[in-house]
Structure 1
Amino acid sequence: MVKTCTAALAAALLLVAPAAFACATCACGDPTLTSMGTEQPFAGRLRLAATMRAWGMTTGDATLDAVTLRELRMDVAASYAPLRWLFLSATLPLQARGVRNVSLASERSWGPGDLEVSAKAFVFRDREFSPDHLIAILVGAELPTSPTVHDAEGRPLSLDAQLGTGSWDPFAGLAYTMFRGEWSFIASATGYLPTRGRMGFRGGASLRSTLAAQYQPTPRWALRLAADTRLEAASDLLGVPDPAGKGFIGFLSPDVLYSPTTDVVVQLGVRAPILNLLSGPVRQTPILQAAVAYDL
């Protein structure tokens, strides 16, 4: 009789057991900690992120025509996978920018920048669950959502002080990801083709690439090292080419990723310019970065 009651009670508990919820990494079969934009999709995955960046750049001769730009920027991003092979993403930058020239004249601006929207389609995976190899195609555009910033007298600030180009800038790219136990590797390349925007300015076409390796010894910690590069064509203003900034620049990018709790990833890192072949006197500061991503 006791055995019969125990069996009946166990069966009842199984029938009324609450629904189980899996974490995002479990649902896609991938325990790897990832920054925004490098995650695997599964149908219904929603990810939110905020990324803070601080950086600066000086162009021109220090005694003649130097212009120094400093920016603090927060990118607010969301990505959603309506299908197991597709991510739709949007990123809105919120920026505070200061520009000073050699005469010590300065301009300051703050507000929203140009919204970026994209779609990332995973066109190959070697197996359905916990794949070792992934190939994805990326398409998107930067939209002219930033307002024209004016000074106290109502005059537009200089192009350097504006928070966006005010142009429609399409881009497309290809990415490959590989997983090997505690290691993961990412290679990607994205081409940008800006159109003419605010004040007749047109940015140069560019090719941006990333080659990264990540080591994750525990479920909570990971170390990431990447080489980020950018190849820039000359920009122009009203059809007049501006060779300054044309060329190649490469960054070495170490990061630490930490997961303090399920579905939260915190990332700290720096982008250090180690190879600057840009034309003209262009001096790029390291880019400091802090980010947090949350899977819903």
Structure 2
Amino acid sequence: MISANITSLLATYIDALHILHHHGVLDGYGHLSVRHPDNPPTFFMMRQVAPALVSGLDDIGEYRVSDAEPVHPDTPAAPIERFIHSELLKRYSDVNVVLHGHPNELIACSIAPEARLKPVIHMAPFLGSNVPIFDIAALYQPSDTQDFLVRNQRLGAALAAEFGGSSDSPYPPHNLVLMASHGFAAVARDIKLATYMGVYAVANARVQSQALQLQQVAGMGHAPRAAGDDIVYLDERQIRDSWETEIRTVEKPWGFWVREVRVDPLYVNELGRE
């Protein structure tokens, strides 16, 4: 029997998965994890289930931060890339939530480093001025399965290190890292903030891509422009001030997003309160 506190946490967790699917951050793949608040050496994470179809406790497993293995040996179908989550939670003690997905908009940014992902909208200051790109291909050993999946602790630890800071930093300097030809990983202190970052990272990438396209159209018949030339990005002060504002307003879109998925018959949340 789980406590009312954990039930409420997992109800929020399920809503977040549905919201992230609804907004195109997650598709049939991708995952979200949350550190167990009463037992920090473990974390909750969906089993091998499509995010939109997670509906209750049977779809969620508990895993050890130390090695990403299930707390209960009979847990079925643990996600292959659970090492993304375990290694980030292990490295950064103040990180409580990890998000990983494969939206097309962010994959495009991961393979076009000359047009680096940068904040162009005030809702995405969490991106910072320099989003790292993790290239797993550079880390492959001859025996590795080279399918871009983070399949073990070694690769998970390398991805976690890309978020920056020292090995004893409680929270990393980067909230989000692109994964070349794969997608992205992001960290947060709580589920609602992680959901916000996922939604607006994709929105920012979409707006940035549209601006780059408009720039190229405007430049036709003129001298070639360098990638990113003339695009207006948030500067360091705007990034800092916008983040201080946005981080306090997450509840506003969250309430709308929850209602949006609660009325959609695709999404079932057995733990959610009406």
Where on the TM-score scale, by shorter chain, does this alignment land: which range? under 0.3
Higher-strand-fraction structure: 1
Q: Which one has more relative contact order, counting CA pairs under 8 Å at least 6 apart? A: 2
TM-score, normalising length: structure 2: 0.27
Structure of higher CA gyration radius:
1
TM-score, normalising length: structure 1: 0.26
Higher-helix-fraction structure: 2
